[in-house]
Amino acid sequence: MIAVAVLLGALAVALAWPVPLALARAAWPATVPGAALALWQGIALAGGLSMIGSLLVFGAAPAGSLTAAAEQLLPLVFTGSLPPHFGLAHIAALTLAVALAVHLALNLGLTAARAERERRRQHQLIALLGDPLPGSPRTRILAHPVPLAYCVPGVRTATVLTEGLVAALDERELAAVVAHERAHLDQFHHVVLVAFRAWHSALPWFPIANRAERAVTQLTEMLADDAARREIGEVPLRGALERLGADAEPGAYADSGGVAPDRDMLDARLARLGDPGVRVP
C-alpha cells in the first residue's frame, strides 16, 4: 500500500503544479476550448482525489486496506486508545485526508450557496429595474450608461444589457452579444465556474488555483464566442468586442472595485477570431 500511496502522491504533486502550469501557458487550448475545458476539470478532480487518496492509503497501510483500517479505528475514536501497529504519522495522514475532503466539500457548498443567493438577488433587481428588450425574450435592459452585458442563470434565465451597451452597438453587434451571453446559459458555464471558484476559495494561497480559475473563465468566454459567431457571424462579434474593449471582460466590474480590465483576455479572444486553426464545431 505504501507504493500506491507514493504513486498517488506523485500524481497529486504533478496535477497540483507542473501539469496545470504547462496547460495555463500553452497556446493550443484556444484552438479547441471545449477539450481544454474538459481537461481542466479532469485535472482539478483527479488532483483532489489523488491528494486525498494518497493520505488515506498511507494512513491505512498498517491495516492492509481502507476497510480494515476503518473497522479497527472507528470503534476506538472515543476511547483514546489506538492499535499498536498504527503510528502517529498514520493517524495524522488519515486526519488530514478527512479534514481536506471536508474543507473542499464545505467550500464547494458555501460557494454554490452564495452564487445561488446572488442569482436570486439579481433576478429580483432586474425584474424591478429592467425593461424587456423588444423581440428578444428573456432579455432585460437596465438604465445605466456603462456598456455592459451579463447573464443570470437559474430556473428562469435572463440576459441583461445596459442602455450604454445598446447605444454603443449596431443591431448585428448587439445580436452577437446576446448570443454570446445565452451560450453561457445554454452550456451551463456557471456550474463549471462555481467549482473552480470554490477551489480557489478553498486554497487561496495556492497560486495554481488562481491560474486555473482565470484559464477556465477565458475558455468559457471563447466557447461562448464560438456559439455567437456560428449564430450571428464573426464580423459582428469582432466589432462588438473591439467597441466594448477590455472593460467588458469578466472581472472588470468586481465588488471590490479594484479589479483592472483584463486586456490580455480580450486580446486572446480577438486573436482567435479569424484564426484558421480554430475549429468551430
Q: Write out pLDDT tens, residues 81-97.
A: 788 899 999 999 999 99
Assessment of whether the complete model's pTM goes beyond 0.85: yes
* Mode of pairing for the β-strands spanning 139-142 and 158-162: parallel
pLDDT for 257 beyond 70: no
Residue 141, helix vs strand vs coil: strand
Domain ranges of the chain: 2-272
Cβ atoms of residues 228 and 237 within 8 Å = yes
The residue among 51, 45, 93, 95 whose CA lies nearest residue 199 is 45
Lowest-pLDDT choice from 117-126, 210-219, 248-257, 260-269: 248-257
Cβ atoms of residues 262 and 250 within 8 Å = yes
- What integer is the mean pLDDT of 40-67? 95
**Residue 258: predicted pLDDT:** 37
- What integer is the mean pLDDT of 28-48? 95
Cα 12 to Cα 52, 55, 74, 196: the distances in Å are 9, 11, 27, 17
